[in-house]
Chain A
Amino acid sequence: EVQLLESGGGLVQPGGSLRLSCAASGFTFSNYAMSWVRQTPGKGLQWVASISDSGVSSYYPDSVKGRFTISRDNSKNTLYLRMNSLRVDDTAIYYCAKRPGGAVAGAFDSWGQGTLVTVSS
């Protein structure tokens, strides 16, 4: 059974940084592309970042490009999201999600339960 367990959320001040982790189990992590998706009260679900199976390719929407960095450690079966220059509107529940193949394509076929990030002074 696929399991994705996010951690690292918490309260951070505007302009601060945070690193989220997602521990994966139940599948061969290194064979699958992964993503981060967030849920905000105002804007619903929003795609945040994606990374290919090898970690060579990564993609971001304009709203986080240059501030967020997705990475992975296939030896530890762990996905990361480094978030810098955080803003109040980055406040959200952050989910990690698995793609159906190694390329960054396809729907999100498994999700974690999320970790809450609150950006506030």
Chain B
Amino acid sequence: ETVLTQSPGTLSLSPGERATLSCRASQSVSGSYLAWYQHKPGQAPRLLIFGASSRATGIPDRFSGSGSGTDFTLTITRLEPEDFAVYYCQQYGNSPLTFGGGTKVEIK
């Protein structure tokens, strides 16, 4: 199966700063079928990015995704207070579907 490794495990930043999250796959993700989700405790996960770089409906443009093959990045420019959460990458190009272990973005 395709193992997704996210780094760093925790990112400590202040509001207004830029966050750069990495997701590395153990093998090439077919079709760049890579998604990013935001998850806050007690809430439903929210789709941010699909197809590596396409923003989901209603997602602010401060969220952007990039990458292909085995290396993918989620960038959040100018962190807002509501952006502090755990972020997961997921690949849906190879079977079985797999998720990364998550990056927690916390307030510094």
Which residues on A are within 8 Å of B, measured CB to CB? 4, 44-47, 50, 59, 61-62, 95, 97, 100, 105-114
Contact = CB atoms under 8 A, between A and B. Distances in A.
Nearest to A111: B44
Contacts of A111: 44-46
Given A44-B88, A45-B88, A47-B97, A107 B44 contact: no
A44 B102 contact: yes
B99 A45 contact: yes
Contacts, number: 55
Interface of B: 33, 35, 37, 42-47, 50-51, 56-57, 88, 90, 92, 95-102
A44 B88 CA distance: 9
24 contacts: A44-B88, A44-B100, A44-B101, A45-B45, A45-B90, A45-B99, A45-B102, A47-B97, A47-B98, A47-B99, A50-B97, A61-B97, A95-B45, A97-B45, A107-B50, A107-B51, A107-B90, A107-B92, A108-B45, A108-B47, A109-B57, A111-B45, A111-B46, A113-B43
